[in-house]
Structure formats: structure tokens, C-alpha cells
Structure 1
Amino acid sequence: MKHLEHNQDFRLNEILFEHRNKAYGAYALRTESDRILTKAFFIGVGLLAAVSIIPVAISAFKSTETVIIQDPTPPIMIDVDKPNDPPAEVLPPQTVTPPPPSVRQYDSQVVTPTRNANENDIVEDIPDDAIAGVKNDFTAPPTPQINVPPTVISGPGTVAPPKIAPVAPVEDPNKIVEGTELSKSADFEGGINAFRTKVMNKFDVSAFEMEDVVSTKLTFIVEKDGTISNIKANGKDASFNAEAIRTIKAVKGKWIPGKNKRGESVRSYFSFPISMKFDN
């Protein structure tokens, strides 16, 4: 049957390519299609079988390695010829700190064993409230009693507020005290009349030629150390004012500073009027 089909295809190809170039590739492909398909089928089956067999062959030829895990801990060596360990060293008994004298105690010291030990000194009946000590003392003196006065708890009452001492204001040391803040005004050593006499003796009247009364009022600050500063004159005649200021500076002597209410020396103002009449 297959042979008949092949012959029919062959005749069909002959009819189809009649009077045509049979060397053309399509004619060869249609003629040899069955043979090419069969060959391709067997080649594909062979490649598939080779791919499946290669892993099995590799695993068969691969050598199996045996892993040996070594124990890092060395074996315990027992020396049968070595003598037994010497007995442990016996430590001497530790010193026991004696308790206070008002507490019962018993002798807890370890006695060195001897051949002629006196067993009568061994105490078996130890009170429960006795503590370890250096001797057997079961009759402790009574503990002195401390009388603590009972705390009186009163009901809610008025709690007095704490007393806060007033903070004294810090006074400026350069403050100029005047008026009612002074308990004593500044004064010249020897009195104000002695100062006035010195001013009159120092005043230069030769530069003035007028027949009238000239006056001015001098103000200055008396410092804490008795010196004067910031001298000013408020008269109408500028020449008279200048001569008055020069005279005040030329007067030798020291001032007694003013006092505040606490009796401390302070800076204060002092006023000194000068009035003169020139007769030419």
C-alpha cells in the first residue's frame, strides 16, 4: 500500500514538474521528503537517548569519596604507674570576728586535734539565738533601752509660712546721695567759714572793673575720699564764673564726705554761693 502511495506521489511530481526544470530544489525536496523525514526521526531519537544516558554514565564512572571525621579531642591517657594524688592541704581555721558584748555567742573556732583532748569543754546545747564567736558566752547583758518620745500627731492646723529675710538692695557705689537720704552733709575740715576765707584770699579781683555786685553759685561733688570733682558755676558773668572755678580748685584742704542713714561715707553734692562788689 505504501509502495502504491509512493508511486502516486512520484507520478504526481512528474505531472507537476512536466516541461519544467527538475534540477530546481523543490522537485528534489518533494522526491526525497520521505527519506529525509525518516533520517531526521532516527537522528532525533539518537540525540535524545544520548542526552539521557550521559548523566547515568558520568555518575557510574564517578568515584565515591569517603569522608572521615576526626575527633579533635585527644584520647584520655591513663598512667597506671603514676601514684595517687596527694591529699588536699588542710587550711588553718580562719579568724572569727567577735560579736558585740551584748549578743550571745558560742565558740566556733576549729580546735587542733590532740591526743589528750579534754572532751568536757565540748558544748552541745547551744541556744538558738547565739551566733558564732570566739568563746562560749550564753549570758549576754541586756541591751540598753532607748526611750523615744512618741510623735504627737495633731489635726490639720495653720502652718506658719517660712520666714524669708528681706534682701537688702544693692546700692550703686557711684550713686550721688542728696536731700533726705543724707544723715550728715559734707563739710570742709576746719568748717565752712575757713573754706570761705581761703576762697576770698585766692580770688583774683584785678581783672574786674565794674561798680556792681557780681554773684554766682558753685556746685561740686564731694567724693568718699574727701576730694571734690565736677565743679560748675551758674552765674551770669562768664569771667566771674571762670575765676570762681579756678579759685575753688586752688584752695588747699580736704573735705569730710557726707553720710547716709547707715553712717556710710557717700558721694554728695555741695553748693557754695559767691557774691562780690567791686569799687573802682
Structure 2
Amino acid sequence: MKSDAILKADVLDIIFENKNKLYGAYALRKFYNNRLYKALVAMFGLVIIFISLSFIKKTSHVIFNTGGTICILSAPPKNKILDKKKIEIQKPNAFTKPLPAHSTQALPTNIKIVNKTDVEKIQNFNPNIQISDVDFIGIPDVVAKVNTELTKGLDTLATKPIPKIFVDKETPTEIAEVMPQYPGGMQALRKFLENNLHNPQDLDEGQIIAVKIKFVVGYDGKLKSFEIEEDGGKAFNNEVIRVLKIMPQWIPGKSKGENVSVYNTIPVKFVATE
């Protein structure tokens, strides 16, 4: 390329000088701006079309999806208006006859019982009272019989003994209506343990050995079935069990008024003595 043409030439022309411009790379770079302009115009045109469609009024038909069946509902014609004058309420043709006069009776507001039948001495008498011409015969014997049978039934229920609820005393439970307790309460139990428990081994300063024993307080108050829940070592476990075995009988637990066997747990901690 001549030196005077370089100032007027495009950068692509300088790059592709003496190269094959028909291969495609030159055309892609040369007309890139034109293609970009066309793409932007097309994109904005589609956006405008979609926005315009969203403002178009929908048809008057309403479509509901009823599980596979499409129902199209249309509004009734505006010119068809119901004539209110033609709407008439049909009156029932059935005619109810009034009850006979002798079957009704009006009661006075106040009734007083007098000894004589003289009409002039009766107070608050309502002259509009109509006396029925139908006689009603009472049945006092049947009522008395029913009352007698009811009284006999109540007497029979009263004489029957109430069945006693069975309570299993031998099988221990976790909770009872009245839990077992040591005679004298918790303070007496603590004092008994402190007086009878001894460290079976020498402990280092600050060392703590924890033992937890689960046992059964029988329905007779005796302790049995000792189980180790927290192991502190054979010597310490045996020491706690030894003291529990020499412990006096507890006050047994109760359920439904009967003594029952109940589980209980005692935790003990051994510490070094100074």
C-alpha cells in the first residue's frame, strides 16, 4: 500500500493488506457495526410488540379450567331484561281448618281454689273459658307401679357391692400416686447416709467419685433389686449398696389406696477428706 493511501485507509485494510479478504474474517470485522445495529433494532421491535399485546383488551368470554374440560361462559344479552311485573308469587292453595271450639281451653292468669261451688264467690273467673266436652281419665295405678319398680331398682343398686380395682403390688412402677419416702423425710435420709457411708479407698485432693444406685421400694417398705446406673468402681458401688441394705424400711408408695412397689434412685458422691 502506498504511503499516501495509508492515511485514508481503514485499520482493517491495513491489517488485511496482501491477505485473502474473501475468507470471511475481513467481512465479519468490516460489517460488524451494521449487524449490531440490525440486531438492536429487531430486539427493540419485539419488545414493543410484546408490550403492545399486553395492553390489548381481552375478549368478553371467561374460560375456566375444570380438570380437562374447558367451559366458555358468556354474558347474557343486555337488551333482555326481566319484566318485574310478570313475576308473581303463587299463593298456597291449601286451606287449614281451625280446630274445633271444644278442643281448646284458655287458662286464667290466676287460679284460686275455694271451698264452695257458688259462682258468685269465685274470684278472678274468666267468662271466656271454654270447657272441653272430652273426658280424660287418669292412670294413677300405672304411675304408682312405675315408681315402685324404680324404687326397687335403686334399692338393688345400693345393695350391690362396688367392685374392687385390682392393683399389682409386686410389679414395680416408675411413678405412683403417693411416692415412697424415707421415715423422717429427705433430711433424715441425708443424715443416715452421711453417718454410715465411708470412703473405701483413699482419694486424691479434689477427686470426686459419683455413684448412682437404682432400687425398688417394695409394697412392704423393704429395699431390693439394686442396679448400678452410674458406676464409680466396684469398691464404691458395694459401699453404697451395703448402706442401702442396712437402711430401715421406707414408707411404701400407694396407688388407688393400695401399697405398691416403686423404683427409686439415690446419687452419692465420694470426695477426699482433709
TM-score bucket (shorter structure): 0.3 to 0.5
The structure with the larger Rg is 1
Q: Compare the two structures and name the one with the higher helix fraction.
A: 2
The alignment's TM-score, normalised by the length of structure 1, stands at: 0.37
